[in-house]
Amino acid sequence: MELNVVKEPGPDATTDVLVVGAGPTGLVLAIDLARRGIPALLVEKSDRLFPGSRGKGVQPRTLELLDDLGLVEAVLRAGRAYPRMLSWEGPDGAVRGREWDMIERATPTEQEPYANALLIGQSRLQDVLHAHLRALGGEVLFGAEVTGLVQDADGVTAAFADGRTVRARHLVAADGGRSAVRRAVGIAMEGESIDPRPMLVADVLLTPDVLVDDLNWHVWRTPTDSGAVLCPLPGEPGLYQLIVRFDDEHAAPDTSDAGVVGHLTAHTPITAGQVTEVVWASDFRPRAALATRYRAGRVLLAGDAAHIHSPAGGQGLNTSVQDAYNLGWKLAQVLRHGAPDELLDTYEDERRPIAAGVLGMSTRLHRYRMLAENNQARGETRQLGLGYRGGPLATGCAGALEAGDRAPDGPLPDGRIFDLLRGPHFTLLAFGTPAPALASAQVHVHELGAYKAYGRGLFLVRPDGYIGWAGEDATGLDGYLAALGVTDHL
């Protein structure tokens, strides 16, 4: 199939979906739309992809998403397991102290093959996603700043700083916590400051003779819970993410190269001569905020444009890309398969409560000093227990599962259940019962033997890996599919 992906807007270019912001959220959405053959344009205000680590943890549920996209092996190769925490003690901070795991490690199972978070800097993850998008025929249009938009009943017209315009049937704002698109459509953010004290985050390259190594996540802490941490990043020897937390809420972290080096040397025994490069730096005050709604007409919010998290627990990036994963297939059903526009309302219905819950959890972790030794939230941070039970697209139950649950993996004689789910289609799994005849390219049907993780019954797995419909027989399945625009089997 030849993909119809808009790459270079002209004076009045048109596309089905305009995605604003080429971070992980925008890239995942563009990939999902490209593999579905949906014309889309991904634009980025900057002249390149974000160069720093910022978000650096990919949780198990996101690894399952990447498995579905055919990307998990590439991402696993680009990342590494999280190292153990190591405290440094003594008057000069050069004495090795105790070690511990920030989050208790889990053991992979048949149902949960990806048990632990993967350490990978945001920029490195973006490189993998960008390469895959290009392989699908897509691209990012850099240096494209959206300066205004107008929408009507049929679409959205976005104006760019260089005078060009793009007309799209839908626009997705994935342009971060300071989203210009969100402000343009008048959607408010409601939240709170988690901690008034500022933090500095930077990526630094250190010389090989430095005191620290890449086997641990290094911690220097003061009695007032300020201090510094250095986390080794995969991809380049000597590359670390530095986080400095300040005591004074009125402090103004210096993000210049010299300032970052000064903060590093002030909080650790590392010397200025052992810093070869400051790759990227930023300062922020941890905040939790949630958009009051995720949709304004034909404009939808995703990722940090819709929710802002504390870095504790590594939840922001993961919640964001799963927004894209939820939204992509719904846009495709509306744009290509004739599903009602109301299907897009279920995006907010499903994802906003998830974001609210995750925001509460990450805020709690931040306030209880997660970096110290708290690991009580291991199950929550992995995001494998999140689902859509009771939601607008969850119908029925069977065996061991209820509609809205995550579809578990499991062994098959010639592979895994995830192998059957991989791709942009719906999947009907029949465990220990005959499957109905469905002549639809959108639904792949498989009759399987009994498996305890599912139990006996029929399970319709949505393209995003959640069970949409379940039953002991096929009663009601046709109506459910028709409501989602899957009508070619009727």
Tally of CB atoms within 10 A around 201: 21
Task: State the angle between helix axes of 24-35 and 122-135 in degrees (0 to 180), rounded to the nearest 10.
Answer: 20
Q: What is the pLDDT of residues 455-470, one digit of tens each?
A: 999 999 999 999 999 9
Cβ-in-10-Å burial (0-12, 13-18, 19+) of 9 comes to buried
pLDDT in tens, 216-241: 999 999 877 789 999 999 999 999 99
Nearest to 321 by CA among 8, 66, 48: 66
Token pair 């679409």 is at which residue?
A: 155
One-letter amino acid for residue 94 of the chain: A
pLDDT at 104: 81
Distances (CA, A) of 387 to 41, 176, 351, 394: 30, 24, 9, 10
Residue 274 has a pLDDT of 98
pLDDT for 142: 98
How much is the pLDDT for 360? Answer: 64
Helix runs in 139-208, H state only: 180-184
**pTM for this prediction:** 0.94
Q: How many helices (H) and strands (E) does the chain have?
A: 11, 29
Helix, strand and coil content of the chain, in percent to the nearest 5, comes to 25, 30, 45
Task: Show the low-confidence residues of the chain (pLDDT under 50).
Answer: 1-6, 370-377, 490
